[in-house]
Structure 1
Amino acid sequence: MKRKFEITNPDLELSPMTGMTREHYIDLAKFLLEGAFSHVDSMDQHMSFPIVPGKTYPQPNAPEWRYRAADFEALERTFTLAGPLIQIDPDTTIKGINLRDYYSLHFYRAFTPGHPNSIPLPEELPDSNYQFTCEFGGLFKTLLLMPDTIWTHYSEEQKNEMVECISKWAHHRTTQNNWRIFNIVALSFLKKYGYKIDDELLKSHLLWIASYHSGNGWYLEQTYNYYSISLFIVYTTIWNRTFGDEYYPEIAEIIERSAQQLMKSLPSFFGRDGYINMWSRSICYRTWVSGAFPVSFMLKNPELLDPGWARRLCSGSLLQFVTREDFYYNEIPSLGFYGQKEYMVQNYSCAGSPFLMFLPFICLALPEDSPFWTAKENDGLWESLGNDSNKLVLENPGLVLVNHGKTGTSEIIPGKVYYDDPNYSKLSYNTHFPWEDHDPSGGTAMEYCYRSLDPRDLRGDDVNFYLTGLTVDNDALENQKFTISQSMVFNGVIDDVLYRQAIMRKPPNNGVGYILDLAEIAIPGGVIRVDRTRLAFEYEITLGHYGLPHLDGKNAVVKQFEKDNRKVITASIPGRSLALISYRGWDQLESLVHSNRNAEADESTVIFARKKCLDKNPPMELLVTVMLHKMDDSDWTEEELNPIKNIEIEDVTKSYSTLGATITISDSKVFKVDFQDIDGRRRC
């Protein structure tokens, strides 16, 4: 029988939007741990979840330490839920097992060399970085905040037995940027409790971490992503309050200032109902960014967020998942976004990895009289937004956040993307239309897709070196497939128009001949796109809208028509609908059914525009498109499907740039699209 969480006795007076109070958080934590402990038969049995077939670890022929890493990850990440419950009540039991006794025993065994369930020491493995370091960071972040859960439960003799293992991993090699936080947390914990550490190593890690601060509260990771919130802000704020303020106050102040900056934009990442946006890698961690809401009330200025709105968004993000039956696989959170989806996860994850999504449960470490618990829920910004759309520009990470009052959805529009990865490279990410994987046959959701029709590419000649007459390593078959942008460049917002560039091929493969200059105007429930092609040779491109999942096996309903100067295609499923309108530049509008690409269903429909150019020397062109979405079953009106009143194209603009436009929309607002010096405005 499938399980899902249901709120009992919701408190609609204190929490009119979700019904969730502190007691419901406790109920939910116990419910989730009951699923985890369905794989534990007794106090003596260590936690181990069934291995999920596919790309995740451990693979069938993996060394023994990989299996130990997976089990240790399950133990540590479920402690994200167990720790707060133990903090509230040390006598808490799950399926008859006392949580404090269980986790005390099994962490002791993990850290005691020679025990059958102990983790290996670094010197027992080839010199490299390992998953153990990551889990040490997670554990000691929790123990810095809540040491009385298990650490004070050990005898001095037990602590001394464990410290050798803890210290060796705390001092061991780590990777660049965010992983240094794990070493920082473990080293700080040891120092705080009187154990000798390499102070210079700790200081070095701290200076490195501080160096990645980029502004707007964001830190550089592989690119800009949720790790900036969950690790660089949540973990380090806990470190500040429990260690950094006392030992490294100047570095702690860097972290404090960045965290306070982040809080200005944090709520804009969430939909009105608290839905989290499926964006960036490690999406199986889902709600871990919601941990920043309770952390806000640990800052020196705890009044940066409206507490009622903060709890409403935090609760809503959890309910987005835990109330769905398809969220659970083997009684625990699945490896995917909603359900189990192999194409949604990375190979560094294992069955226990998703438990990191319960980072928000650090809220249970807040006192019962914290405003986070006592304030009445509200909808914050959304209450005054009406049908308008609010746009927030984060210049430093190159992110634009749009909250659509008309639909209750929020969008992340990324601008600094360094590689072709659907986790990052899409034109936009929407809280209620999760992304789809790329389809090399074309029509990929929310992407410009490109394929060369240049006969030299199709023959396998190398276009960049064609003057030599030589055929170099150029895969003709690969060139026949559609590819997504190889990188996305942020060029700023000017007069309320967002400018980016999609680089469809990178140098040395003639990168300056494969550019799409993007200009975007946010409108209620959607966007107007005025995009300039700079594609040097024969090509074909598609522009996809969001994907629509086929729920309960039912296809999306697609309608299409032409009227006046427009081509229109719409697609709808119960409760959601999309519209794509072509005003200029596209040959045709189409729809495709994709398999095994959508986050919600095995099949999905994408509506998209297609353009093919067979000129040897194609002209630059402007592609004018409108992309709309709605969250109800109402029919599209004529007014909605014709938001542009007038388009004036200029070969040379008043700024002496080429191929721009003046767009007048239905409410008579006028927008100037001018690509002046766009290449020189690149901010990567």
Structure 2
Amino acid sequence: MRNVPTLPEDRELSPYTGWTRGHWEAVADELLLAVRPYASPHHGLINLPGPRPSASGPRSDGLEGYARTFLLAALRVAGAHGDDPHGHLARYAEGLASGTGHTDGHDRWPLMADCPQAIVESASVALSLRLTRPWLWDTLDDRTRRRAVDWLLPALGPPPVDNNWWLFGLTVAGFLQDAGIETDLARRTIDRSLARIEEWYEGDGWYSDGDNRSFDHYNGWALHLYPVLHAHLAGDEDLLDRYGPRLRAHLDGYARLFGADGSPMPYGRSLTYRFAAASAPWLGALTGHTPLGPGATRRLASGALRHFLDRGATDDRGLLTLGWHGPYEPVLQSYSGPASPYWASKGFLGLLLPPDHPAWTGREERLPAETEDAVTALASPGLLVQSTVADGLVRLHNHGSSQSGGQDDPGYARFAYSTRTGPTTEPTALPDNHFALVVDGRPTSRGPAEPRGAGPGWAASAHTPCPGVRVHSLTLAHGRAEIRAHLVTGAPEGTPVRQTGWATTPGGPTAQLQPVHGYAVRTASASGPTLQGPRTRTAALHGTTGGGPDSLFVALASLTAEPDPTPVTALADIEITGRTLTVTWGDGTTSVRTCGPPGN
């Protein structure tokens, strides 16, 4: 396997992963060396091979290859205080000159007016120039710098996409401000961009990625990363005082979304960025705004990097593939091109920490998922995080994250995700962790989730699957047990309903799904590939609505990697009175919650 360093492991310093700063530097160099054969003659474009060009076209894909690997080179060299034994920056300096118009056009970058994707890539170019300014930008001739500025300036206008794209202009403006170029315009751009994302801050460290309650990894690798890193690089203590505590609050819950095997939670979009998920924990260590100990930060980040490299994220040429572990088309978006995975470069942010920083010198510490069985409510995004020490599994129960359009996007519309399973994606396959009415022979979509609160051991939401029908949903979790309750109101008598469980692969975790109330039949069937493997199997429970104004359906579920797990029925005893569930868990503790609209 390419990109896996041959350096000896250090199990004294890093008892969980074996990796040190030297391993990170070696991986960075290997990834950068692997893309060199695909550079254009003057290095302005890096045209990576792949069967799937992005919607923006091949020249945009080549710019993406340049910009995203430039960011990796910048972090590698800036972290070494300019030491560049492989000559990375010289190639990117030549590419900057050729891409902005120094050659006859074969290397030239698309303009932002013609190619909106260039706005995205301008942020990586500008951040890279900012990080390496003494060794690259300050050495360029005035003509090249002028052309580069002319190419960057359009990024300061309002973006065409009203989400985290506002932060690309902020990042370009931060570089220009540092370089003393168009400083008034840069300041206005920074202020306007920060004001826009302020409208999406929901509290407790969580932003929605736009006006659509889209809570996903963009919180870490964009919505926190760009403002906090800008404030840090600018030495702006006022901004750090505003955004640093938000990062700390975010990391308090976010760090719980990593399994003991290093896997970040596979939910949301752009999952092919993989270990970019480690950028926010590194940023917390860099700025001091983190609840994690130094050794836990490195444990999380090294675990995530190793998780993907050990499972085939790079091909035999050393190139990051479009997928999750290996190539996997269903996790991609229309904007994903051959170089898109190199946004994973953000995961190397820790190289900006000096070698003597405690995050590099401290002994690795256990992750939250390895310390105790825990169920943590993240009230602002409407998520419930459930982890178990015995198997290192983390499960995410989703009662608040959606994506615009009302469609059942597998990355958002499932009621549950885990670090050892992946959502089923084939349109004709049985969707995992889903509740639906069956109307005219077709299951309804979930639609946007409307959070209805979250607290110790529970989370609730509502949605409208079809006109006149409301579904109120409740999850209770304890240990590895999950109780899934749905109250259906407004549906005609005899309407079929279906609850599905976890989609598991052969040799993977054990999934259990048991009817408690309202269901009559249990089935199990093949459910197609997920990002964990080509074959899965998913159980389903089936029932019908009654003749009253509402119908309650309750199931008991479990996902565990423990060998020979006890039946799920031994984990909880459930009594139902009307809409109220009284649960006695296996350890003798109790929970009482009502499933339904507030006040009932």
TM-score higher than 0.5: yes
- Closer, same or farther: CA 320–495 of 1 in aligned 2, 3 Å: closer
| 8 A contact 1:448–1:485 mirrored in 2 | yes
In the alignment, the residues of structure 1 paired with residue 241 and residue 299 of structure 2 have an alpha-carbon distance, to the nearest angstrom, of 29
Q: 1:536, CA displacement in angstroms? A: 0.9
**How far apart in 2 are the matches of 1:181 and 1:41?**
29
Does the C-alpha gap of structure 1 residues 253 and 303 become closer, same or farther in structure 2, counting only changes over 3 Å? closer
Distance 1:211 1:354 in 2: 29
Q: What is the CA deviation profile of residues 629-667 of structure 1, one whole-angstrom value per residue up to 9, with x for unaligned ones?
A: 2224x22335x542233x33223xxxxxxx323222333
Cα pair 2:377 2:457 within 8 Å, conserved: no
Distance across 1 between alignment mates of 2:532 and 2:595? 38
2:375 to 354, 373, 391: 391
CA RMSD of aligned residues (A): 2.6
**Structure-2 separation of matches of 1:112 and 1:544:** 55
Per the TM alignment, residue 221 of structure 1 is displaced from its structure 2 partner at its CA by 0.9
Contact between 1:277 and 1:434, CA under 8 Å: does it hold in 2? no
- Asked if the contact 1:495/1:671 (under 8 Å) is kept, the reply is no
The answer to whether residue 489 in structure 2 is matched with residue 534 in structure 1 is yes
Match of 2:92 among 96, 103, 118: 103
2:220 is aligned with what amino acid?
Answer: I
Check if 1:451 corresponds to 2:438: yes
Please give the per-residue CA displacement for 1:530-587, whole angstroms capped at 9, x wherever unaligned. 33233512422222222123xxxxxxxxxxxxxxxxxxxxxxx325221112222212
Judge conservation of contact 2:376–2:457 (CA < 8 Å) in 1: no
Of the two, which has the highest radius of gyration? 1
The amino acid that maps onto 1:533 is V
Tell me, in whole angstroms, the C-alpha distance in 2 between the residues paired with 1:426 and 1:261. Answer: 25
Partner residue, 1:546: 502
| In structure 1, distance between residues paired with 2:234 and 2:218 | 21
**Residues 397 and 485 (structure 1), Cα distance of their counterparts in 2 relative to 1, 3 Å cut:** same
TM-score of the aligned structures, taking structure 1 as reference length: 0.80
- Determine the structure 2 residue equivalent to 1:215: 203
Aligned residue for 2:471?
516
d(CA) in 2 for partners of 1:150 and 1:82?
12
| In structure 1, C-alpha distance between the alignment counterparts of 2:205 and 2:91, rounded to whole Å | 38
Aligned length: 588
2:571 alignment partner, one of 635, 638, 643: 643
2:62 aligns to what? 71
Q: Is the CA contact (8 Å cut-off) linking 2:159 and 2:166 kept in structure 1?
A: no
The 2-side partners of 1:34 and 1:449 are apart by 49
Contact 1:122/1:172 (8 A) holds in 2: no
Aligned residue type for 1:121: L
Residues in 2 aligned to 1:384 and 1:183: alpha-carbon distance in whole angstroms = 40
Match of residue 402, structure 1, among 377, 380, 386: 386
Q: SS of 2:245's equivalent?
A: helix
Name the residue aligned to 1:11. 10
Whether 2:18 is the aligned partner of 1:31: answer no
**Partner residue in 2 for 1:629:** 559
What are the superposed Cα offsets for residues 284-315 of structure 1, whole Å, 9 maximum, x if unpaired? 1122121012211222x456321101100111
Could you say what secondary structure the match of 1:504 adopts? Answer: strand
Cα offset, 1:67, TM superposition: 2.1
1:75 Cα deviation from its structure 2 partner: 0.6
Alpha-carbon distance, 1:363 to partner: 0.9
Cross-structure match for 1:664: 584
> 2:366 matched to which residue of 1?
379
Further displaced range: 668-677 or 395-404: 668-677
Q: Does 1:139 align with 2:125?
A: yes
Native 8 Å contact 1:306 1:380 kept in 2: no
Q: CA deviation at 1:279?
A: 0.7
The counterpart of 2:349, out of the listed 356, 362, 365, is 362
| C-alpha contact 1:217 1:261 (8 A) present in aligned 2 | yes
1:81 Cα deviation after fit: 2.1
Letter in 2 for 1:136: S
In the alignment, is the contact (CA less than 8 A) between 1:450 and 1:482 conserved in 2? yes
**Aligned equivalent of 2:215:** 224
Structure 1: stretches of 5+ with no match in the other structure: 453-457, 459-479, 550-572, 652-658
1:527 Cα deviation from its structure 2 partner: 0.8
Could you tell me the percent identity over the aligned residues? 20
Amino acid corresponding to residue 193 of structure 1 in structure 2: A
Assess if the C-alpha contact under 8 Å between 2:399 and 2:459 holds in 1. no
- Cα distance change on mapping 1:99 and 1:440 into 2, 3 Å: same
Q: Does residue 226 of structure 2 align to residue 235 of structure 1?
A: yes
The letter for the 2-side match of 1:161 is R
Residues 293-304 of structure 1: matches in 2 within 5 Å?
293-299=281-287, 301-302=288-289, 304=291
- The gaps in structure 2 that reach 5 residues or longer are none
The separation in 1 between residues aligned to 2:363 and 2:77, in whole angstroms, is 27
Asked if the contact 2:77–2:83 (Cα under 8 Å) also holds between the matched residues in 1, the reply is: yes
TM-score, normalization by structure 2 = 0.91
Residue 317 of structure 1 aligns to a residue in which SS?
Answer: helix
Write the deviation string for residues 370-425 of structure 1: whole angstroms up to 9, x where unpaired: 1110110010435541xxx3122222222222222232111222222343321111
1:179 Cα offset (Å): 0.9
